[in-house]
Amino acid sequence: MTDKPKILSVGGMDPRVEEALAPDFEVLSTRAALLDSLVNGHGPDILALVTRGQFPVNAALIAALPKLQLIANYGVGYDTVDCAAAAARRVIVTHTPDVLNDEMADFTIGLMLATIRQLPQAEAYLRSGGWEARGMYPLTASLRDRKIGIAGLGRIGQTLAQRLQAFRRPVAYYARTARPHVNLQYFASLEDLAEAVDVLIVLLPGGAATRHAINAAVLNKLGPNGILINVARGSVVDETALIAALREGAILAAGLDVFEDEPRVPQALRDCANAVLTPHIGTGTYYTRGLMGDLVIANIRSWFAGQGPLTPVPETPWPPPALA
């Protein structure tokens, strides 16, 4: 027995986070398969939960933890956490904003250039002996004659937009409302943005409100010369429509770091030679995952020191609104 506060860790948390918490907390670590037995055994004692978004923290799980006070999400996107259920119980949800903006902006530019210039395909050509056997790699598309659109101009989108200035290409954006201090062309509709640009970079948050926001109509507007880059959430893009668009040439190419049913990526998408596919590695560096882990730990420590959360999500503000 221990009197340390109990924390439930779901979905393969960064071990560094669990190790850092271990001296002061009893960390019950689980993957989905063991969750039921852990919740049955410890549910009434669990005060906090850490998650990295690979397993849903839904209303049923929140209900099974009657003393839950805090859900600390290791990631800026928290679409797998049912924030409405948390808010109804006055459970605070935290995430890891800002510390990953630079990494995500760097990665997005890398994926965009790799997709436009076909870097993975060209490398595979060399490795397989194609250069010697068949000669120079075919010419590719260029960023030089393209206009770039950003769908979603939050923290990462704004950091990316700053980086893109160095590329001396026009940049436009879509957001639900125009950002007052942003000096970029604004579109109030995704279809209109897609029609106006040649590269469409998706940075919209996941969740019900944005599910399949990038659909066949948007892809058709992007057009046969268009390139789609998605580093946000797989749910934002209608993957079936995207596969059809890639196959039929309705768009030119796609660079994808996120997928609808991770880690499962449809064979039909893997078969698309005009897609560059990476396994959700946008923030996946020692440096940035370290900063994200530090922020998860700092939120938990601050909370249990009675000082409130450091980075709560807007749906569970701190201090909480007065009860009606």
Query: What's the CA gap between 117 and 253, in Å, rounded?
Result: 10
Q: How far is the CB of 18 from ligand 8YV (least distance, A)?
A: 14
* From 42, 179, 212, 280, the catalytic residue: 280
Q: Of 96, 99, 97, 93, which Cα lies nearest the Cα of 318?
A: 93
CB of 263 to ligand 8YV, least distance (A): 11
Q: One of 233, 239, 260, 289 is an active-site residue; which one? A: 233
Residue 59, number of CB atoms within 10 A of its CB: 14
Local structure of residue 81 (DSSP, 8 states): B
Assess whether 52 carries a catalytic annotation. no
37, 27, 49, 79: which is closest to 207 by C-alpha? 79
Residue 181 is a catalytic residue? no
Cβ atoms 128, 122 nearer than 8 A: no
Is residue 42 annotated as a catalytic residue, yes or no?
Answer: no
- Partners of 49 in beta bridges: 8, 71
Q: Which residue has the tokens 């370290």?
A: 290
User: Which of residues 149 and 234 has its CB atom nearest to ligand 8YV in the complex?
Assistant: 234
Whichever of 116 and 256 has its CB closer to ligand 8YV, that residue is 256
Residue closest to ligand 8YV (Cβ): 75
Please answer whether residues 228 and 111 qualify as being in contact, where contact means their C-beta atoms are separated by less than 8 angstroms: no
CB of 46 to ligand 8YV, least distance (A): 21
Which residues are at the interface with ligand 8YV (CB under 6 A)? 52-53, 74-77, 100, 280, 283
Distance CA 274, CA 209 (A): 29
CB of 280 to ligand 8YV, least distance (A): 5
For ligand 8YV, the closer of residues 43 and 77 by Cβ is 77
Nearer Cβ to ligand 8YV, position 5 or 282? 282
Please identify every residue annotated as catalytic: 233, 262, 280
